[in-house]
Structure 1
Amino acid sequence: MSKANKTLASALRLADRGLPVFPCAASKRPTCPHGFKDASRDPSAVRALWRDYPGPLIGVPTGETTGLFVLDVDSAKHDTAADWLERYAPYLPDTRAHRSRSGGVHFLFRHRRGLRNSQAKLALGVDTRGDGGSILWWPAAIDQGHHRAPLAELPEWLVKALTPPPPPTKTDVQRPRTPEAARAKVAGIVGAVAAANEGERNSLAYWGACRLAELVTQGVIGPGDAIALAVEAARQAGLSPNESQRTVASAFRGQQ
């Protein structure tokens, strides 16, 4: 059987199991015009996709459509991703996992409503795929990974880390009335971030940086001091220097 026929046969088997599929090129890009939106479970539609837009790889949508949420750890290309996985692997439940061709790994979980895609939010080289996303189904191309395990629920600490903090309330953005009050507010924000528990460090670091950025706009603290305090608090919480700087920079950009 030719490689093209093997790919189509694998795509049809996935469709028979209820997973919508679409063709992708060796470059990993969809070959069909609308990407994952063209994915189908219907055998006739699948055959038509591979006839009209042939590709050697199989894409599968994530999110509500398939009930899949994927943690994509590119540990082979990014040391930060390898460090993240080493740190958090003990806290990940046993779940289905696919090795990628580059040497990374896809951890597959049951999708949690409201979670979309993220890029480097957890660490550089650690992305997620939820609503509006898709993955390559590597077991159809390479025989590696933990294919047989059932899908686990997404851990709450990971949900929390990926959930944006709530918008500030009016109380949050009130300007402190005295220098003492300003110092106390800054110290409270920095202390809350530095004391973050494992699993909430990224979200609290982002929250704290946003609060300090607001104080900058109010003239309470200078931008250089605010950024330095935010980065140091994130590092004290346990984030790496790169993670700390990236999270703080993202928060300050969002306040501009």
Structure 2
Amino acid sequence: MTPLQHALECAARGWAVYPVAQDKTPRTPNGHKAASTDPERIRAMHVQFGFVLVGIRTGETSNLAVLDIDRQHNGLEWWRDNRHRLPATRAHRTRSGGLHLYFIHKPGLRCSTARIAPGIDVRAEGGSIIYWPSARLEVLSDAPIAEWPEWLTPAPKPAVAPSWQPLHVTHGDKARNYATAALHNAVQRVAGTTTGSRNAALNAETFSLARFVQSGSLSPTEIAGAMAHAGIAAGLEAAEVQATIASALGSAAR
């Protein structure tokens, strides 16, 4: 089957799809928000953008939630320890060697990262996944899609990001003022980033800001505090935010 045929098959199941590139980035300008179950709309997207991989919008639109089990971070070990607690349901192999377990969407369920356990993510309202059979990866189980297990509902996280006060502009210090403006703009960009590219945006913006440490215009503490605020405001987990910031600042210092 071609990627377009896979997309149409998914749509027939009620899953809203959109075209994705080989590197997993959306090919439509508005990403997963362009997802549709309408065959004519899907064919039109294929003509305009081309389906290389098939993306599925998760959550209420598709009545679909996916447990994303990462091969890294001990995700597969968690799955082996807990698979006896999971109902039989549709399962796919992912390109990285992990698993996607498909479930019926639970109202109110949203995306989360490592809140259930390290290496275990939830793709639900506000998110999307790649339909890996469109890349000829294995369907491990074609069992009917089960209800979302109640015990997998992630614990709620604080709704408020850590407080951060914008830095003051210093009159006469052009280098400091330029760096401060760049920091404020980076915070706004990361905080407004959509699901699927938040960690990459946090890493790129932090790495870019590190040049101001070398020039003496900003301190690592100022950058780390501001970007932690931005990352958590975007919906990332605190542990992931701290690790990404530390990695970006460390890479820039080498």
Which interval holds the TM-score relative to the shorter structure? 0.5 to 0.7
Partner of 1:10: 6
Please tell me whether the aligned partners of residues 62 and 132 of structure 1 are also in contact (alpha carbons under 8 angstroms).
Answer: yes
Is the aligned partner of 1:19 residue 2:15? yes
Indicate whether 1:88 and 2:121 are aligned. Answer: no
Give the residue type in structure 2 aligned to 1:24. Answer: V
SS in 1 for 2:16: coil
- Aligned partner (choices 94, 104, 124) of residue 100 of structure 1: 94
Q: Which has the larger radius of gyration?
A: 1
- Give the distance between the partners of 1:165 and 1:155, measured in 2 at CA: 19
Q: How does 1:206-245 map to 2 (within 5 A)?
A: none
Corresponding letter in the other structure for 2:45: L
Matches of 2:65 and 2:146, distance apart in 1: 10
Deviations 1:116-168 (A, max 9, x none): 00011122321111101111111222241234201111222112xx031799x
User: What corresponds to 1:219 in structure 2?
Assistant: none
Q: How does 1:114-129 map to 2 (within 5 A)?
A: 114-129=108-123
Report the Cα distance in structure 2 between the residues aligned to 1:39 and 1:137, rounded to whole angstroms: 13
| Distance (Å, rounded) in 2 between the aligned partners of 1:142 and 1:120 | 27
Letter of the structure 2 residue corresponding to residue 104 of structure 1: G
Residue 134 of structure 1 aligns to which amino acid in structure 2? S
The alignment status of 1:164 with 2:156, answered yes or no, reads: yes
Which of 55, 58, 63 is equivalent to 1:62? 58
Matched to 1:70, the amino acid is V
- The 1:96/1:150 distance shift into structure 2, 3 A limit, reads same
1:144 aligned residue (122, 125, 138)? 138
Mapped partners of 1:104, 1:166: distance in 2: 29
The root-mean-square deviation of aligned C-alpha atoms, in Å, is 2.5
Paired AA for residue 88 in structure 2: D
- Corresponding letter in the other structure for 1:82: L
Task: Point out the more displaced range, 52-61 or 136-145.
Answer: 136-145
Number of equivalent positions: 164
Distance 2:157 2:28 in 1: 36
Residue 22 of structure 2 contacts residue 52 of structure 2 at CA under 8 Å; is this kept in 1? Answer: yes
Deviation at 1:79, TM superposition (A): 4.2
Displacement, 1:33?
0.7
Q: How far, CA to CA, are the matches of 1:145 and 1:10 in structure 2?
A: 13
CA drift of 1:55 comes to 3.3
The more displaced of 57-66 and 82-91 is 82-91
Report the equivalent of 1:37: 33
| 1:154 and 2:148 aligned | yes
Shift in alpha-carbon separation, 1:115–1:44, aligned structure 2, 3 A: same
Structure 1: segments with no counterpart, 5+ residues: 168-244, 250-256
Aligned residue for 1:32, secondary structure, equals coil
* Residue 122 of structure 2 is aligned to residue 112 of structure 1: no
Gaps of 5+ in 2: 160-237, 243-254
The answer to whether the 8 A contact 1:100-1:106 is kept is: yes
Letter in 1 for 2:12: D
Q: Which residue type is aligned with residue 67 of structure 1? A: N
- Contact 2:3-2:134 at 8 Å conserved across structures: yes
In structure 2, the CA distance between the partners of 1:17 and 1:158, relative to structure 1 (3 Å rule), is closer
Relative distance call for 1:54 and 1:124 in structure 2 (3 A) is: same
